[in-house]
Each structure stands twice: as structure tokens, then as C-alpha cells.
Amino acid sequence: MAMEIKRNSKTLVKEKTALLIIDIQQRIIDVMQDKDCLIENTLKLIKGMKILNVPIYYTEQYPKGLGQTIDVIKNELKFDAMQKMSFSCSGAADLFKDLIDKNISQLVVCGIESHVCVQQTVLDLLENGFQVNVAADAVSSRKEYDKKTALDRMRDNKAEITTTESILFELLNICGTAEFKEIIRIIK
């Protein structure tokens, strides 16, 4: 009798996953730690999710004050952001309802600031039964200590803290496919 090999239940599955990009906006980006890394890895996630046909959502916090999403990201997405006044994305229109309606149970999260909008969103997603994977190399805060503390708190609350490359390979699951070859070009 053959033994069934199980995969970890928290392994990302593209049919159940969506990407959520939080508040990478014009008037705040320049004060973020490692902003170039944040932008580069967010773009890798966007491009990878497009290849894998994974839904993408993005938000803007009070765009009248903080400006719109930075052009390089907005141009890659080519659709409108969900606007919000609350720090948590739970206040971004019908975002949570839409995720539930589309049977999304796993979220990949990136954006700013780690200790405010990202953290509050992650905690609310977890409270509502979603599995959350935070791309640690695609989140930022003005201060490194705030980012580190936020990542620790999210991990303590059962968020998966991982990296952009890990996320993309996890969603791929196998090598040798056309998708694999396209994603390899993105991450190099």
C-alpha cells in the first residue's frame, strides 16, 4: 500500500491565492527604508502573479493627502486602486467580501507601512480566516525597527513571513513549465 505524501496545508496554491499591494504612494515612498528593494520586489510579485493568473488588488490610503500609487506600479497594473481612509484594508470598499466571493483563502501581502496599514490589514485578514503570507522583502516602514517589530507581531499572530522569490516558486509548484521559464526571467 502506497503512502500518501502530504503537502503543508499552508503551501500557497494559485487557485486560492490573491496578491494585495498596500498603499505604495507618491508622497510617502521616498521616506521608506530600502524603497528600491520594496519597489523591485513588488514589481516581481505583480509580474509573477500575472503569469500565474493570480488576482491582484491594490489600495491607496487617503490619496488626496498621500498621492496616488507610484507610476511604475500603477503602469504595470493598468486598473484603478481601491481607496480607503481606514488604515486596515478591511475599510477598502468590498475587498474582503470580494475575496470571499472568489473563494480566495490565501493572501500574499506587500506594501507600506509595515507597522501601520500592512500590519492592521494582516491582523484583520487573519481574524477573518484568511491565510496571510507577507513578503518581507516587499514591505517597508520609515524606520527599520518599526518594520522588524511589525513582522514579529504578524508572525506571532500566525502570518507566514516569507520572501518574494519563495512566494513565486511556491505558487509555481513545479519547474520545467512555460510559467516557470517566464518567472525565472523576472527574478534574475
Residue 117 appears among annotated catalytic residues: yes
Residue 157 DSSP code: T
Task: Indicate which residue of 23, 74, 110, 147 is catalytic.
Answer: 23
3-state secondary structure at position 64: helix
> Has 110 been annotated as catalytic?
no
Task: Please indicate whether residue 84 is annotated as part of the active site.
Answer: yes
Phi, then psi, of 136 in degrees rounded to 5: -60, -25
HSE at residue 96, side-chain half, CA atoms within 13 A, is 18
Contacts of residue 163, defined as CB under 8 A and 6 or more positions apart, other chains included, come to 41, 135, 136, 137
User: Which residue among 84, 89, 110, 147 is the active-site one?
Assistant: 84
- Cα–Cα distance between 130 and 51 in angstroms, integer? 23
Torsions phi, psi for 86 (to 5 deg): -75, 155
Of 74, 89, 110, 117, the catalytic one is 117
Q: And the C-alpha cell for 16?
A: 486560492
Scored b (16 or more CB within 10 A) or e, 131-158 reads: bbbbbbbbbbbbeeebbeebbeebeeee
Residues annotated as catalytic are: 23, 84, 117
